[in-house]
Amino acid sequence: MIEFQQVGKSFHGQAVVDDFSLAIAPGEFVVLIGRSGSGKSTTLKMVNRLVEHDRGRILFAGQEIRAFQPEDLRRRMGYAIQSTGLFPHWTVERNIACVPELLKWPAARIRDRVTELLELLQLPPDVYRRRYPHELSGGQQQRVGVARALAADPDVLLMDEPFGALDPITREALQLEMRRIHRLSGKTIVLVTHDIEEALRLGSRVVLLDHGRIVQAGTPRQLLAEPASDLVRDFIGRADLGLRLLALDTVASRMRPGPIEPNNAPALRDTDSLREALSTLIARGTSQLPVADATGTLCGLLHLSDLVQPSA
Ligand code: ADP
Ligand code: MG
């Protein structure tokens, strides 16, 4: 869907992206992560030509991006940024409708699309459609920013720290929504963050950048289990390695399945992460808990020792 071939970019003679090669398949959720100044935003902006690359090639749908009109490219790639970039004197509805308006969609279709997106991002349309950005919380503004990026149903979503500057709870809620949207839509998403938790939670592939170069690209599990260098280990945080690995697996993957006699102990959910399960076990002061499925039926048991190694 998007392919970087030895791409480079310099500002004032200084390379900020260097020999960057990465092929992003349709439907992937790629997270670019790295310290501030490592070249993440520049890399993202080269994709929709907000910044022009000066070495190598960037292909979109098989064609060098310079073959596209920048406007055409931007209509096919939604772009959401931390500062939301909402127009302050426009209602939420008009802000979201921005690209569909440019594409001259009929008014009724635009209205329906705005309703659909507000519902998708859990902003009741009747309440929020006519509000102005300053009448929204930061989290609601960022939702509107995401809705606007999705409005014309682009093939690709480019997101630059879209949940930055949010409190942890709102941030996690929006991350869950992004995962849901990705699952439902199968869109190709490239997201920039400096938050390793966010990267490991969202990315089907995580790309760690340092000084404009790729240090390691792989699944969250590969980065955790086979870090390519000390820089990767440091970035992930050595102390939290075990907990981060637990966060990647669900209770269902390690529980001892089987019918359980109902008792009064509140159960774990089979879809909880093992990290959440560990936290619950410790908080309840117990070494085992029953596991319930979506219907509330008890379907197995999780022991503390199952967290250390699979009970197979
Ligand atoms: P990140 O998003 O990882 O924090 P950026 O891609 O924004 O990093 O920036 C990478 C480097 O390029 C930084 O050193 C930054 O100062 C520099 N840079 C970014 N944009 C410009 C620009 N328009 N002009 C000059 N230098 C820039
Ligand atoms: Mg940046």
| Within-domain flag for 246 | no
Exposed/middle/buried for 204, CB within 10 Å: 0-12, 13-18, 19+?
middle
Residues 139 and 283 in one domain: no
Residue 170's alpha-carbon distances to 174, 222, 280, in angstroms, are 6, 28, 22
- Tell me the DSSP string of 35-63: STTSSHHHHHHHHTTSS---EEEEEETTE
First to last CA, the chain: 39
Residues 296 and 167 in one domain: no
Please tell me the predicted confidence (pLDDT) of residue 191: 97
| Within-domain flag for 279 | yes
- pTM > 0.75: yes
Residue 43's domain comprises 2-238
Please tell me the predicted confidence (pLDDT) of residue 311: 41
Residues 217 and 256 in one domain: no
Please tell me the predicted confidence (pLDDT) of residue 71: 85
Which residues, judged by CB distance below 6 Å to any ligand atom, belong to the binding site of ligand 1? 11, 16, 34, 36-42
Residues 169 and 297 in one domain: no
In whole angstroms, what is the distance from residue 120 CA to residue 153 CA? 13
Please tell me the predicted confidence (pLDDT) of residue 310: 54
Among 55, 41, 50, 62, residue whose Cα is nearest residue 6: 55
pLDDT in tens, 115-167: 999 988 889 999 999 999 999 988 889 889 989 998 988 989 999 998 876 77
Residues 209 and 118 in one domain: yes
DSSP secondary structure letter of residue 250: B
In whole angstroms, what is the distance from residue 251 CA to residue 282 CA? 15
Residues 95 and 166 in one domain: yes
Q: Which of 12, 16, 47 to mutate to test the pocket of ligand 1 (most atoms within 8 A of CB)?
A: 16
Q: Would you state the structure tokens that stand for residue 195, as one six-digit string?
A: 């938050």
Check which CATH number belongs to the domain holding 292 and give it: 3.10.580.10
| Within-domain flag for 243 | no
Residues 142 and 260 in one domain: no
* Ligand 1 atom at shortest distance from the alpha carbon of 209: 3
The segments of the chain whose pLDDT lies below 50 read 311-312
Ligand 1: which residue has its CA nearest to atom 24? 11
Residues 147 and 210 in one domain: yes
Check which CATH number belongs to the domain holding 161 and give it: 3.40.50.300
Please tell me the predicted confidence (pLDDT) of residue 67: 94
Q: How many domains does the chain have?
A: 2
Residues 66 and 187 in one domain: yes
Q: What 3-state DSSP class applies to 169? A: helix
134 Cβ neighbours under 8 A, 6+ residues apart: 88
Residue 200's alpha-carbon distances to 95, 133, 207, 210, in angstroms, are 31, 31, 10, 17
Among 306, 221, 311, residue whose Cα is nearest residue 268: 306
Order of strands across the sheet that contains 14-24: 14-24, 2-11, 55-60, 63-64
Residues 96 and 216 in one domain: yes
Residues 56 and 201 in one domain: yes
Please tell me the predicted confidence (pLDDT) of residue 3: 97
Find the 128 Cα to ligand 2 centroid distance in Å: 29
Domain's final residue, options 186, 209, 238: 238
